């Protein structure tokens, strides 16, 4: 009877560890993964909370147009920070400008540590449902999203410049119907003055001969 009592405590501890194992094994919990279309780029955003065993992890993603690989990007999961366990990681694929693809898909192809070595990582939602997981025995690519619509580069709206006339020219021409009469008037004045001088000179010449 004493032996049974002594065994109860270790048994409870073992059972608790077994039940808690799946929870503590989740390196990222309460996670959500979403996509967005930004300036022609398909972007993936991962939000969640790290746990005490989480080390820095780099999630490698690949983008496929139909069945053709057209880009790659990464999501960086930070190491656990007790003061700030929540994080947001975002990666954008280069804009796809070649090929006529109808659908796109995103795959998680690998997880590495900060040194580039294969590493473990399990990402689960708030119901402890695994979104994707990589460990020593399972490194197959995981389809994260499929049947995504193309993300087109926005077409810039052309802007036609508005011509502006010089204020001085506009003011000068406005009262003359588009023709500047100043120069002909100056010429006419000079011509009249010349004729007047000629007439005066001729008149004095006739007076002097009498």
Question: Are 101 and 150 in contact, with CB atoms under 8 Å apart?
Answer: yes
pLDDT digit string (tens) for the chain, length 210 residues: 444 444 454 444 444 433 444 444 569 999 999 999 999 999 999 999 999 989 999 999 999 999 999 999 999 999 999 999 999 999 999 999 888 899 999 999 999 999 999 999 999 999 999 999 999 888 899 999 999 999 987 776 667 666 665 554 444 444 555 555 566 666 677 677 777 777 767 676 656 555
Global pTM value: 0.63
* Range list of H helices, 26-90: none
At residue 79's C-alpha, the angle toward residues 76 and 80, to 5°, is: 130
Q: What are phi and psi of 189, to 5 degrees?
A: -60, -45
pLDDT value of residue 16:
42
pLDDT at 196: 73
**What stretches of 113-204 adopt beta strand conformation (E)?**
121-124, 130-134, 142-148
pLDDT at position 157: 67
């Amino acid at each position: 009877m004493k032996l049974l009592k002594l065994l109860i405590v270790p048994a409870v501890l073992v059972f608790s560890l077994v039940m808690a194992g799946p929870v503590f094994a989740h390196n990222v919990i309460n996670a959500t993964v979403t996509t967005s279309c930004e300036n022609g780029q398909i972007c993936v955003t991962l939000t969640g909370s790290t746990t005490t065993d989480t080390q820095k992890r780099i999630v490698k993603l690949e983008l496929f147009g139909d069945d053709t690989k057209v880009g790659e990007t990464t999501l960086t999961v930070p190491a656990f920070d007790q003061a700030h366990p929540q994080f947001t990681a975002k990666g954008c694929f280069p804009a796809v400008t070649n090929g006529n693809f109808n659908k796109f898909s995103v795959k998680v192809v690998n997880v590495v540590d900060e040194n580039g070595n294969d590493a473990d990582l399990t990402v689960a939602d708030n119901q402890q449902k695994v979104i994707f997981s990589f460990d020593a025995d399972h490194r197959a690519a995981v389809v994260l999203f499929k049947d995504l619509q193309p993300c087109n580069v926005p077409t810039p709206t052309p802007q036609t410049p508005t011509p502006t006339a010089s204020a001085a020219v506009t003011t000068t021409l406005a009262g003359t119907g588009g023709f500047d009469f100043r120069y002909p008037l100056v010429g006419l004045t000079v011509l009249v003055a010349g004729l007047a001088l000629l007439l005066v000179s001729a008149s004095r010449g006739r007076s002097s001969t009498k």
